[in-house]
Amino acid sequence: MKLAGIREFRGVLKVLGSGLRIGGSKEIVGIGEAENPIIRHPITHLPYVPGSSVKGKIRSLLESKYSKDTQESGLPCKCGECLVCQLFGCGDAKRIQSPSRLVFRDAQPTSHTREIWERAGVDSEHKTEVLIDRNKGLAYGRIGPRTMERIPAGSDFDFSFSLRIFEGDNEAEYYRFLAEGFELLSKHYLGGSGSRGYGEVLIVGEDGQTPMHEFLRRQAAQVK
Ligand SMILES: [Zn+2]
C-alpha cells in the first residue's frame, strides 16, 4: 500500500459540565489524597487526557452503532474490512487488511489552563460520594463515603490526531465517519462515571470554537 499523505488535525478538548475523570493507578494514598486518583503526567504530575482514551471511546461509540461484530459480541470489531477497522485498526492479526490510519496523541493542559490552575493552587477537585441506604435514607456507615478525583470543568487540553491516507482511500468518507464519532462523543461522555454526569467534553478545531465534527464535515466537502 502506498502512503499518499498524513493529515494532521489540531484543536482543543474542553471539559464541560461537571468535570472529567480518567483514572490513574492507585499506588500509595497519602493523607488528604483521593483514593481514586486521576491519571497524571509522570514528570510534570499535571493531569492529562490520554490519546488512547479518546480514541477508544470514539471507536466504541462507532462500533456500537455500525459493527455487527461488536453488537453481537460486545468486543472490538475484528472484521478487518469496515470503516472502524480501517481507521482504528483490526483486533485480529489474521484479518488485518491494511494498517490502522489514526493516531491520537495525549492531550496536555493548554498554557491558559495551566495558568489558571497555578493561580488557584489546584489542578483537580476531590468529590466525595456517599452511597445511600435505600431503606433508611441514610448513608451507609461502612461503605461510604469514597473520594473521587476529577479534572475541573472549564479546563482545556491541546488535542491532536493524525490520519494516514493511502492511495485509493476515500478520504471524504473517512472524514464523515470520524465526524460522526466526534459528534457521538460530544453527546456521550469520556472517562468514568458518565452516568453520574462526569465526562462531558467537546473537542473543537484549531479556531477554538468550531466543533471538530463540523470541521471534519467541511473537510469532507472540500476533498470531494
Ligand atoms: Zn470491522
Rounded to the nearest whole angstrom, what is the distance from the C-alpha of residue 73 to the centroid of ligand 1?
Answer: 12
Calculate mean pLDDT across residues 149-162.
96
pLDDT band at 159 (very low <50, low <70, confident <90, very high): very high
The Cα–Cα gap between 41 and 151 comes to 13
Ligand 1 centroid to 202 CA: how many Å?
Answer: 26
CA of 103 to the centre of ligand 1 (A): 17
What is the pTM (predicted TM-score) of this model?
0.88
Report how far ligand 1's centroid is from the alpha carbon of 78 (Å). Answer: 5
Model confidence at 56: pLDDT above 90: yes
Tell me: the pLDDT tens digits for 76-102? Answer: 888 888 999 999 998 777 777 777 899
| 70 alpha carbon – ligand 1 mean position (Å) | 9
> Please, how many CA atoms are within 13 Å of residue 13, restricted to the half-sphere of its CB?
30
Rounded distance, CA 89 to CA 86, Å? 6
pLDDT at 29 over 60: no
List 23's β-bridge partners, or say none: 38
**Strands 132-133 and 125-129, bridge-based pairing:** unpaired
Candidate from 66-75, 103-112, 116-125, 157-166 with smallest mean pLDDT: 66-75
Percent of the chain exceeding pLDDT 90 equals 64
Query: Is 11 in contact with 179 (CB distance < 8 Å)?
Result: no
Distance 213 CA to ligand 1 centre (A): 22
| Domain containing residue 216 | 3-223
Query: Residue 145: pLDDT above 80?
Result: no
Q: What percent of the chain has pLDDT over 70?
A: 89
User: Is residue 160 over pLDDT 80?
Assistant: yes
Give 203 Cα–ligand 1 centroid separation in angstroms: 25
Count of domains forming the chain: 1
pLDDT at 98: 75
Ligand 1 center to residue 62 CA distance, Å? 10
More confident residue, 143 or 15: 15
Give pLDDT tens digits for 176-221: 999 999 999 999 999 888 887 889 999 999 999 999 999 999 999 9
Expressed in angstroms and rounded, the spacing between residue 195 Cα and the centre of ligand 1 is 28
> Ligand 1: distance of its center to the CA of 122 in Å?
43
pLDDT > 90? residue 73: no
Q: Report residues near ion ligand 1: CB below 5 Å.
A: 77, 79, 82, 84-85
Q: How far does residue 96's CA lie from ligand 1's centre (Å)?
A: 10
Q: What is the pLDDT of residues 127-139, one digit of tens each?
A: 887 766 677 666 6
